[in-house]
Amino acid sequence: MNNITLPSELKGFINTNTEEGTTAADRKIYLIRGKLDTSEQICPICGSRMHVHNTYDTLLSHLPFGGSLSAVGFPKHRYHCPKCKATRMEQVDFQAQGHRITIPLQNFTEDLLHSGLTLKMVSSLTGLGKNVVKEIDKKRLAALYCKDGGGEWRRPLETPSVIGIDEFKLHDGHKYATVILSMETGHVLYLAKGKMLESGENNQKMSGENNHFQSVNNNQNNMGKA
């Protein structure tokens, strides 16, 4: 088999061999085996040299290649301090926080979501579960539209002159939600459950004296499932 050598972009990972395998869904996957390039572990509490206490086989999903998936496998150590009895897990710089995937795969997933692909399409392309893709998308949107990535909406830097208002059905088909966004930048200005367009009070709030909208695009007749 002809091989192409590419940089892994995985800081601190040393590739020793690569195997071919098949997933439960009958997709080809490249298992990139290796080890972590770690220096001597020093106890952060007492400064003594730490020893390997346990070793765990770790597998992280990595970037797909063409129609094939890939994963990075390596032993991960838990270290123990013989002096103060403290323990710590070996740090993996290229692992995405909260997921068993690499940071390059997380960035690739965010790029696909930003381009407008659905959760199902991104899941198929990356090999990740839809719930994992959904969590990545929620964090991506929070970083774009919330203060400090939290739950409080961040105001856009400029007041939009043209806004769009749409109501759409939620998954159960009996409840609705309303979204208001800037037609110029795509920035989400308002998102909530219920039919906002039927409320005169909310309409007055959106068209108050502090708002300077030149036009409003009401897409109420074009409602689809979220």
Greater model confidence, 198 or 224:
198
Greater model confidence, 10 or 216:
10
Domain limits of the chain?
13-145, 162-218
Burial class of residue 32 in the structure, from the number of CB atoms within 10 Å of its CB (0-12 exposed, 13-18 middle, 19+ buried): buried
> Interhelix angle for 130-145 vs 103-114, to 10°?
70
pLDDT at residue number 186? 72
CA separation for the pair 191, 199 (Å, rounded): 15
Instruction: Give residue-wise pLDDT tens across range 102-161.
Output: 999 999 999 999 888 999 999 999 999 999 999 999 898 888 777 776 667 666 667 778
Q: HEC states along the chain?
A: CCCCCCCCCCCCEEEEEEEEEECCCCCEEEEEEEEECCCCCECCCCCCECEEEEEEEEEEEEEEECCEEEEEEEEEEEEECCCCCCEEECCCCCECCCCCEEHHHHHHHHHHHHCCCCHHHHHHHHCCCHHHHHHHHHHHHHHHHEHHHCCCECCCCCCCCEEEEEEEECCCCCCEEEEEEECCCCCEEEEEECCHHHCHHHHHHHCCCCCCCCEEEECCCCCCEC
pLDDT at residue number 147? 76
**Residue 199: which pLDDT band, with cuts at 50, 70 and 90?**
very low
Greater model confidence, 63 or 168:
63
Own/partner contacts of 205-209, CB < 8 Å, gap of 24 or more, are 206/163, 206/165, 206/180
Average pLDDT, stretch 74-84? 94
104, 78 in Cβ contact below 8 A? no
Angle at 99 between CA 96 and CA 104, to 5 degrees: 35
Instruction: Give residue-wise pLDDT tens across range 17-64.
Output: 999 999 998 999 999 999 998 888 899 899 999 999 999 999 999 999
Residue 223 pLDDT more than 50? no
CA separation for the pair 82, 96 (Å, rounded): 31
Q: pTM, whole model, 2 decimals?
A: 0.73
**Residue 212: which pLDDT band, with cuts at 50, 70 and 90?**
low
